[in-house]
Structure formats: structure tokens, C-alpha cells
A and B are shown apart, each in its own frame.
Chain A
Amino acid sequence: DIQMTQTPSSMPASLGERVTISCRASQGISNYLNWYQQKPDGTIKPLIYYTSNLQSGVPSRFSGSGSGTDYSLTISSLEPEDFAMYYCQQYDSSPTFGGGTKLELK
């Protein structure tokens, strides 16, 4: 199975700050990389699919990039509702998720 290493595991940040979360696959995944946000109530929302495509309704401050084994999610200017857990997920083979990043208010 492909392992996904997500960093950092937690990130304190301030409102308006630009942040980047990274995800590294144990082998190349041909851009089959998606990002999700999970709120404290457990609700899961898709953000980005196929590395860099924004899901419908997701604000443009979210963006994704990467290739090969290395991928990233960037939030250009943090809003209050962005403080949550974030997960990457690959689908080049059987799906696997990264360990998650907790984005916390500094």
C-alpha cells in the first residue's frame, strides 16, 4: 500500500496568515491527490481533487499543487472557519490518507 506522510501534524497560525500543508507519498501517485477538511463536529468537506482542482463552492484562497510524490495545500489568508483538521488522500491505488494536520489559532 502507498503510505502518505503529512506534515506538520499541527500548525499554530494567525488570522490572515498564509499556510502550507505538505503531503509526501511513498511512491509516485500521478497527481491522484485530494484534500479534505474536517471540522470538530466530524463533518468532512472535500477541498481539492486531482492535485489542484477546486471543488465547487470552495473559496479561492485554497489551492493545491505538486507532482510525483510531493504535494501541498496552501491557504492564502486564513479565515476563522479555516481552523480545522486537514487530510490528504491518494488514489493511484487503493485509497490511503495522510495522518492529518490540525490547524490551530495561534
Chain B
Amino acid sequence: QVQLKESGPGLVQPSQTLSLTCTVSGFSLTSNSVHWVRQPPGKGLEWVGAIWSGGSTDYNSALKSRLSISRDTSKSQVFLKMNSLQTEDTAIYFCTRGLDYGCFDYWGQGVMVTVSS
């Protein structure tokens, strides 16, 4: 059974670094890509970035300078690090499994991150 679960701090201070973990089960990180998608309160979905089955990464061009995605295949975990956080980064952060055609088939429940002092 495929599952993804996000974890991380609910509150981050402005200018600090966000660290999130996505723990997956039911599939291998070396077989599928994992993507991060975020959703500001009351707004739509925004693709953040991805780590591919081979370990390479792609990032949203607007976030690229602040973003890093990595993984630990032995623990089935994917990590997101975003620095220089601003209030505009307040959002629910989802991790999701990527398939062919760029479709995301399984999604985590999401983790709410608030950027505030």
C-alpha cells in the first residue's frame, strides 16, 4: 500500500530555514520520483520541486535559489530544505509520487507551515 507522510515544524521564523521530511512506503525511491507541492491558505497548488528516481533534482525556477531536495533511500525519506523563509511561504506542503506523463498519483496529507515571528 503506497503511502506518503510529511513531517516538520509547524512554525518557522522569518529568514530561517524550513526542513521537511517525506517518509514513503509501498514503493521505492529508486523506482519513482517524489515531488513537493505547496498550497497557501485559501489558494491554489504550486509545484515546488522534485527528486527523480535516479537522484537528480528539479526546482521551481522562482524558488530555486532557496531550495534543496535530497533523499535517504535506505530510510525511504525525501527531504526539503528552503532557506530565507518569508510570510509568503506560509502554506500546506504536500509530497506526492510522480508517474509517467507527469501525473501525481499518491499524495500525503500535507503539513501546515506558518512563517511568523
Contact surface of A with B, Cβ cutoff 8 Å: 1, 32, 34, 36, 42-46, 49-50, 53, 55, 87, 89-91, 94-100
Contact surface of B with A, Cβ cutoff 8 Å: 35, 44-47, 58, 60-61, 92, 94, 96, 99, 101-105, 107, 109-110
Complex Cα distance, B109 from A45, in Å, reads 11
What are the nearest 8 A-B pairs in CB distance? A91-B102, A49-B103, A95-B47, A50-B101, A97-B45, A44-B107, A100-B44, A34-B103
Residues of A close to B101: CB separation below 8 A: 32, 34, 49-50, 53, 91
B42 to chain A, nearest CB (A): 10
B110 A46 Cβ-Cβ under 8 A: no
Complex Cα distance, B60 from A1, in Å, reads 9
A96 B47 Cβ-Cβ under 8 A: yes
Complex Cα distance, B91 from A15, in Å, reads 33
Residues of B close to A95: CB separation below 8 A: 35, 47, 102
Residues of A close to B104: CB separation below 8 A: 34, 36, 44, 46, 89
Complex Cα distance, B61 from A87, in Å, reads 21
B108 to chain A, nearest CB (A): 9
B36 to chain A, nearest CB (A): 11
